[in-house]
A = this chain, B = another copy of it.
């Protein structure tokens, strides 16, 4: 009975202490569980597209996603990633505007959908929830600003080094100590704003310098200290 009750919902959306939902009262928590619905998606599936209307939050139960904007000649610019426990789509819902990014699954995934009206109700009822959302957006805003500075001032190699560190931090390691994410060279290029060939060449350089190891799409950081120095523009 309890099993069935919770099967609609998602523990990451409501239960984790790290989540923005941690301040909810038990009634609010129940409301959330009742109103949310889960779906599964396959690699390559697009949950929503830039410019479309979205009506609620998406909470990642499992899987990984890339979040991107579309630029000149449909060239994608990856703005962020999402992993288990992350929330996306809130910006557009909260400001009642069309989605400003596209959300695409990087692997098979499960995602909960939380209707916008639930969110607005929670904001009205629970100031701590509002504050949690405010903090979340402020944090993302700072990340975005740091990235603007980096992309404007650093070389491609420095940016690549930085992104490798970010990916390791964000997606952690698999059982062989490789960064636990599969991205194409093109994906990586579209994070740091460069050409696919440049990514390939610089990854090759880093490999020759014995700072990283490559196995297909998998990347392992061998010398984190030096990678950091490169990312900080201290070592060339």
Contact = CB atoms under 8 A, between A and B. Distances in A.
Interface of A: 69, 71-72, 75, 77, 79, 90-91, 94-95, 97, 100-101, 123-125, 127, 130-131, 133-135, 137-142, 144-154, 192-193, 233
Of listed A77, A141, A192, residue having the most chain B CB within 10 A = A141
Contacts of A148: 77, 79, 144, 147-148, 151, 193
B71 A149 contact: yes
Contact of A141 (B75, B137, B146): B137
Nearest to A72: B233
A71 B137 CA distance: 23
Contacts of A134: 94-95, 123, 130, 133-134, 137
Given A137-B138, A144-B144, A127 B131 contact: no
Given A94-B138, A137-B141, A69 B192 contact: no
B130 A69 contact: no
B133 A123 contact: no
Given A91-B138, A95-B139, A123-B131, 12 more contacts: A69-B145, A71-B152, A77-B149, A77-B152, A77-B153, A79-B148, A91-B141, A94-B134, A100-B142, A123-B130, A152-B192, A153-B193
Given A123-B127, A145-B100, A153 B75 contact: yes
